[in-house]
A and B are shown apart, each in its own frame.
Chain A
Amino acid sequence: MKAGVSLAPWNVTDQKIPQGRLALFSYVSAALVLLLLVGFWKLQVVQSEHYADLADKNGIRPIAIIAPRGAMLDRDGRVLVDSYPSFSILLMRDNPKLLEKSLPQIEDGLGISGEDLHQQLEAAKFEPKFLPLVVKPAASDADIEFVESHRADLPVLELEMVQRRRYPLGEMLANTIGYVGEVSPQDLEKNPDKYKPGDIVGKAGLEREYNDQIVGTDGMKRVVVNSIGRVIRTLDNIDAIPGKPIQLTIDEDIQRIADTDMADKQGAVIAMNGHTGEILAMVSRPTFDPNDFAIRIPPQEWNALNRDPNTPLLNRAIQAQLAPGSTFKIIMATAMLESKAIPAEFTAYCPGEAVFYGRVFHCWQPKGHGAVDLHSGIVHSCDVFFYNVGQRLGIDKIAHYAMGLGLGRRTGIDLPAEEPGLMPTEEWVQRVYHHKWYAGETISVAIGQGAVMVTPIQLARAYDAVATGGTLVQPHLLKDADLKVEHFPLADETVERVTQGMYDVINEGGGTGYALRLQDVDFSGKSGTAQVMSYQAGAKVGGRAGKLTNGWFVGYAPRRNPDIVVAAVVQGSTEHGGTTAGPVVRDIVKAYYDKKNGRFVQPSTAENLQPSHVVPVADPEAEAQSR
């Protein structure tokens, strides 16, 4: 190079290099590097554990291994409910481009309509992108194979193993067993340690009541995933502990008889062991198929079930609060004898109607029953006799005995949402309606109408209590539950008279249940036919609707200290309780003894269920004439 180049006019080397400022630059650089190192130190040394934890959460994904819920067995060990593993197909939505591209192939492969798929994606649009969409809740073997064989080219599909509930009995026992579903946000909030989102829990019935017993412990698999969520390898595996099975007191044979008898009816049946309170059968109709809930119930179907005016989700055996009608007369009889307010030999004359407090009260038998004592009052279900008893006792005495025998309060059965029913008292009317009790109301209550409301299970227990001299067992469905007993002691004389009456309802010619009698069985009971509307309202409505009744029959055997007590109610019929509910009770009691004596034959179909060995059922008129 020539020196001349460096002497270009712009470059006169008369200036010194600014050594001071260069040195300052070095110091500043060193200081900045030091500052950066402090920054790294903070992350890598001070907060290193926090970030190591985040790193683990990043790359290590815990996958729950769902534990199957425990089965439910009947008293003989037959399976009523169990679980089975199934696969759901998930659609990952975190890569919209890939997703869009894969859709046509998925539609073909899984047989889902494109419209349906787009609708689902649209519905999930505002949910977080990393939440997958369940496109097939119950994948078939072919579906699973499709996903497995397209792992490479359809990475948006994932399989997830789930445990599903299976209810082999279908509708039978549905309201008692209940159903399962995803844990609700409310439950999650209440028990954040117990549940996690998406957990399947019992929502109703026994599934809910014994959820904690039958629920298993979910296992966990920890897998290493990469940044797009692909599983690289499994780190460790904690197996799920399946839930324990529970044994119920239900007898599938008896349940089946009860269920078939009630198949086309609306109402409820409860069959209970009179000594222990074990529930042998429980029916509520109309009902639903819990298998519909096992996978995922479509919202339309769920809404339809909820809005159905026939309330199929209601367990009528413990939740229907109904007027007991004439079945209440047994409580009246017990109250009359126990209170000693009226002599045991009290007789009333029944001309078919009677006037109390300026109002006419009819007997169900317009012709009248003539002179009626307690025994014939029970056997022929004379209303006028019990009007008189009611008037003489007064509402508070009636309520004392009714509630003592368990009416108007919960029985404590091991099911959620049992209803208490209602036994009115003077105090209750004052408290709720702020007026005095109308004495005329007592007359209605005396025959199980008016304000009194009971549930079928209360009636079954109350009859058992009367027949055992005041032992109230707590009904239960879990086989190894402790026997819980309440005492409301009744005089033996009372028990003898009342049970004799109930025995003769069935076994004395002219009794309202004479048609139901059984050979070799001390079958006793009482029918009841409660108006859905009052006489006046019914007359106004007129026609069939005005005459709709709830037909009751509570029966048990033997006469004292029953082995089995059965309460049945058939709603919305125009017939007498002895005609509608009576045969149901009779069939169950018969099946119980047939089974006990080794003569039980399982009816194979519903057709041959109307057994030939029973006497044809009489209607109320016929009963009246045979009196």
Chain B
Amino acid sequence: MKDRPQVQDFDWPLLGIVGAICLLGLLEIYSSTHASAMAGMQWKQLMWIGIGIIGMFLISQIDYHTLLDQAPVLYLVGLVGLLGVLVIGYSRLGAKRWISVGGQTLQVSELMKLIIIIVLARYFTEVRTDRLTLRDLAKVAALTLVPVALILKQPDLGTAMVLVPVALVGAFFAGIEWKHAAVGLLLIALLVPLAWNMRHHLKPYQQQRIETFLHPEQDQRGAGYQILQSEIAVGSGGFWGKGFGKGSQNQLGFVPVRYSDFILAALAEEQGFIGVCVVLLLYLALILRLVDNAQKAKDRAGMYVVMGVTAILGFHVLVNASMVIGYMPVTGIPLPLMSYGGSATAFVFLALGLVMNVRMRRFVN
């Protein structure tokens, strides 16, 4: 037994998988942008990965129990930050998502993802039961839905949605009763059509996205165009792909935001079904490895933290990949570690920092 956590205790196989995914992402960002005005984006992404690794190391050094101790404070800070975004935030592309911190713009909602993992891990640990009552579930829902509502207000449907699986997965491991789960699923099944009828209360661009998801071919030049172009890129890639840097849809700019949200479409075109298999299996390996860390966690608190991270990452992969092949509407959820994006990439590494944090302390008393 050691009495100090050490960097040697980092999950190196997990980091190997992460490294492989990052590398594929960097290559595809290069391939998608090298011939355009955005050339060189892969270096910026690499810089963010570097920043993320430093953040990962730093966050692994603070015992997750200490972080969980401060959960109420973190939660309040997060909510205040989100309110701040609404009041003094920056507008880009019609959405207020950023605030300026020392000249750098920061997406507070990314930070909120980390905070919700910690807050819910603390809550589920504290409940200390294998049978969650409805009261408990109501509290979980309240904790989750307040930040969700604030993020929806920005508006950022994608990020808001991402918080929900943390609560669902957490509840699952905290011992949700099957009948509650069944009722919950039923409620969701009923709420979706209801929400559909309430769609006039959505922002026009959200209405548009849902509309075009249901009927992509009716509006080839609008948002449905994105889904269609993505499908064309993916489908035309075939089994073996068109080759690195040779995807016509990607290179000619038909794939929408090909270096970010639709990077999987760009990769699917150039590397084919084989390439997609490699990527998705790497993500599956990542998830299984994360679950393995949860299984070996020292306590339930650690498990909740790891599974919170897993829930968010898994949800990202699922929604993003589904969107690329037209199974889900365009919601602006990036593919973690591959899509270009500073805040999103940094978040993944910070979240992995939490996982390392838990792993390093499994043998420490």
Contacts and interface: CB of A to CB of B under 8 A. Distances in A.
Contacts of B125: 10-11
Contact of A14 (B128, B287, B298): B128
Interface stretch (B93-101, B207-215, B233-241): B233-241
Closest 7 CB pairs of A and B: A51-B235, A55-B236, A227-B253, A10-B126, A43-B235, A226-B252, A44-B273
Interface stretch (B41-49, B144-152, B299-307): B299-307
Nearest to B176: A21
A32 B122 CA distance: 28
> What is the interface of chain A mostly: helix, strand, loop, or mixed?
helix
A129 to B, nearest CB: 7
Contacts of A21: 172-173
A45 B238 contact: yes
30 contacts: A1-B63, A8-B69, A10-B122, A11-B299, A13-B298, A15-B130, A17-B297, A22-B173, A22-B295, A22-B307, A25-B310, A26-B291, A29-B314, A33-B281, A36-B321, A37-B277, A40-B276, A44-B234, A44-B235, A44-B273, A45-B238, A45-B239, A48-B235, A54-B236, A55-B236, A55-B249, A224-B252, A225-B252, A226-B253, A226-B254
A58 B234 contact: no
Contacts of A94: 221
Q: How many interface residues does chain A have, given as a range? A: 35 or more
A18 B175 CA distance: 9
Interface string B91-133: 0000000000000000000000000000000100110101000
Nearest to B252: A226
Contacts of B169: 25
Contacts of B20: none
Contacts of B122: 10
A130 B221 CA distance: 9
A44 B291 CA distance: 30
> What is the interface of chain B mostly: helix, strand, loop, or mixed?
helix
B139 interface: no
Contacts of B300: 13, 15, 17
A165 B122 CA distance: 83
A54 B281 CA distance: 28
B249 A8 contact: no
B357 to A, nearest CB: 11
B85 interface: no
Given A13-B300, A29-B314, A40-B273, A1 B361 contact: yes
A41 B273 contact: yes
Nearest to A10: B126
Given A25-B291, A55-B236, 7 more contacts: A6-B298, A8-B69, A17-B294, A32-B318, A48-B236, A51-B231, A59-B249
A622 interface: no
A30 interface: yes
B221 A129 contact: yes
Given A18-B173, A21-B172, A48 B252 contact: no
Contacts of B229: 58
A11 B68 contact: yes
Interface string A38-57: 01111111011011101100
A40 B65 contact: no
